[in-house]
Amino acid sequence: MTIFIVMALSWLPGGAKPRMAGDIYDVEAAMADSLTVSLITCYPGPEVYELYGHEAIRVRGEGRDSVWNYGVFDFRAPNFIYRFVKGETDYMCVGYPFAWFLPEYEKRGSKVVEQDLNLTQKEAHALLASLQKSALPENRTYRYNYVKDNCATRILDRIDSVSESPIVYPHTVAFGSFRNEMREYNRDYPWYQLGIDIALGAGIDYPITSRDEMFVPVEMMTRVDGAMMLDGRPLVRESRTIFEGVPDATLGPGTPWLRPLPVSCALAVLTLCLCFLNFRNGKITRWVYFLWFALLGVAGCLVWFLVFISVHEATSPNTLLLWLSPMQLITAVAMVLKRLKTVGVIMAWYNIVAVVSTLLVWPFQHQSANPSFFPLMGITLMLAVTYAIIAPKISYNNMRIRKNASGSSRSKSIRIRQTKK
């Protein structure tokens, strides 16, 4: 998406101020100008916030070449990160010269495609008026939703609203759910996808339509190209590539064995070896327990925040709630401090029940699992079982040692008194 730009509409070439008739835009008064409206689709870039690409509207005509962008945000706004996680992300519609738009995508090497829309002049002017009204200071801010209300879906809604003939888009469903579509575009960013699969629950796993899949700009471009109006007009009159870019501007697939699944499987094997050594030696490698359950606790704080506090609709319900819980922070501390050994055993049994319950429930619910979840849950289960078995034995052995030591001290004291007599 585009970094925040604040510009007055009057800065646009040819004077892009909306023409008004009272409180209503006077489209008829502007009909003397011949406008061409086109969609600008920018392919994905290397940053995680660029993986789905970007969509904008270009309007050019008599002395005018402007772009209208619904992907503008102000990352300097107070508490931006907190509000973004909470789901209170405000984006804006901003219009500015097209010459200022393209260099960003040329610099990162992303392909840019333009599709001229087959609109009548009345529809084109109505769309421009709608965009100008949306970009007014009192109207330009909207509550962003990454799959239902973003830079692409807003544009679709604007086009549909001004078309005098209903538009029929292709009904082909390519992915079937929001998560599947995300996974396709995040395929070379597996750690980012793992984070999405942890943070977002079943709210992105229900069946979706072809129209829903157009929240990704490249998918929108493909379907718009095959759209027809009921009066027989194709929605797109002409398509062209205005910047070829590199074949793939993302970072690429990376090292296969450093992806989450191989790493989690390797950690599971190492944990199995560690638990075997702990069983054989009757000891607990406490620092490993602390690091693992502290990590789960931090992840649990984020998951619980997203489920119970965030207004993101896609974050709840989340079946990972039992396993990824803030209570894991208690587990981390209790398994390190010997005086909290009883609490540690209780939390170990909590983890056993939580992981087993999650695994049993998973096949019967709708949330899609990242394959890495299961080795990671296996690590939790192995550590919890090991602690639940060894910790009581250590306590029992320590108690016997203290008892024997106390008995030996008493016997020695009796022998000393007898010798004195």
Q: Are residues 131 and 70 in the same domain?
A: yes
Q: Are residues 168 and 302 in the same domain?
A: no
Evaluated on CA atoms 230, 232, 236, 239, the torsion sign reads positive
> What is the CATH number for 111?
3.90.1720
List beta partners, residue 97.
66
Residue 100 falls inside a structural domain: yes
Q: What is the pLDDT of residues 358-415, one digit of tens each?
A: 999 999 999 999 999 999 999 999 999 999 999 988 765 665 555 565 555 555 555 5
Range of the domain at 388: 256-408
Q: Are residues 225 and 295 in the same domain?
A: no
Pairing of strands 228-229, 36-42: unpaired
Residue 198 falls inside a structural domain: no
402 Cβ contact partners less than 8 Å away, ≥ 6 residues apart: none
Q: Are residues 263 and 221 in the same domain?
A: no
Cβ 359 vs Cβ 377: under 8 Å: yes
Averages of pLDDT over runs of 10 residues in the chain (421 residues) are 32 33 44 85 94 96 92 80 82 95 95 98 96 95 92 96 96 95 96 96 95 97 96 96 94 92 98 96 93 97 94 90 96 91 94 96 95 98 96 69 57 56 53
Residue 192 falls inside a structural domain: no
Q: Are residues 268 and 168 in the same domain?
A: no
φ/ψ (deg, to 5) at 98: -65, -30
Q: Are residues 231 and 285 in the same domain?
A: no
Q: Are residues 232 and 294 in the same domain?
A: no
* Whole-angstrom distance, CA of residue 138 vs CA of residue 131: 13
Q: Are residues 230 and 268 in the same domain?
A: no
Q: Are residues 273 and 140 in the same domain?
A: no
Nearest 5°: the CA angle 236, 182, 153 is 40
Q: Are residues 76 and 150 in the same domain?
A: yes
* Alpha carbon distances (Å) from 71 to 2, 17, 120, 197, 396: 6, 21, 26, 24, 63
Residue type, 259: R
| Structure tokens given for 201 | 């629950």
What pLDDT is attached to residue 10? 27
Residue found under tokens 């040329």: 106
φ/ψ (deg, to 5) at 60: -135, 150
Q: Are residues 130 and 269 in the same domain?
A: no
| Structure tokens given for 263 | 């790493």
> Burial level of 258, CB count in 10 A (0-12/13-18/19+)?
exposed
| Structure tokens given for 187 | 């395929």
Q: How many domains does the chain have?
A: 2
